[in-house]
Chain A
Amino acid sequence: NAGVTQTPKFRVLKTGQSMTLLCAQDMNHEYMYWYRQDPGMGLRLIHYSVGEGTTAKGEVPDGYNVSRLKKQNFLLGLESAAPSQTSVYFCASSYSPPGGVYNEQFFGPGTRLTVL
């Protein structure tokens, strides 16, 4: 039981390049999330998904796209990377939606992305 895994762990891009971050979970969770974490700021929600085939915008969606073709996978794409997208990206999943006291989000180990 690997939990939540993310690929790659590190990446350096040049401005304008594209890439896809892969998140996979083996807990059969319906709900999946992509966050970014920047110094001095809390984790901010980029996009989320409430089930296979669904996606929705979070707090900071601009410059990112997502897809959830399979329940266990949630992909985050950067079409044209910008230096402002330098960050640590965390994927998370949960069994139930946010709001309940029993809601726990399980996070992947993160992807450290630098855009030059």
Chain B
Amino acid sequence: RKEVEQDPGPFNVPEGATVAFNCTYSNSASQSFFWYRQDCRKEPKLLMSVYSSGNEDGRFTAQLNRASQYISLLIRDSKLSDSATYLCVVNSGGYQKVTFGTGTKLQVIP
């Protein structure tokens, strides 16, 4: 099993839709979790950290489920500008234990 797994998509959704991505991780000792956004041929940028209690930033909500070992990202009222690849990042302790998922591609359609 991969350390971090994401559905590559693409997820094609109409503007205004709600879409959710999950990311599963294999190491139960994982300590911190993040969602990064990567536009085509650009660098990754931090979207949000994922806190144990869940957290929300505008239209974006991140959740952590330690029992089932996954994190989720919910995007409400999708915009065309949300089209990107969303990378899940899991840290299991230390510099060499920061694992990036392969990303989930989102395409928001007019």
Contacts and interface: CB of A to CB of B under 8 A. Distances in A.
7 contacts: A90-B43, A99-B31, A99-B91, A101-B49, A101-B50, A104-B49, A110-B43
B93 A99 contact: yes
Please tell me the size bucket of the interface on A. 20 to 34
A102 B94 CA distance: 15
Interface of B: 4, 31-32, 34, 41-46, 49-51, 87, 91, 93-103
Contacts of A103: 32, 91
Contacts of A109: 42-43
Interface string A75-97: 00000000000000010000001
A58 B43 contact: no
Contacts of A50: 95
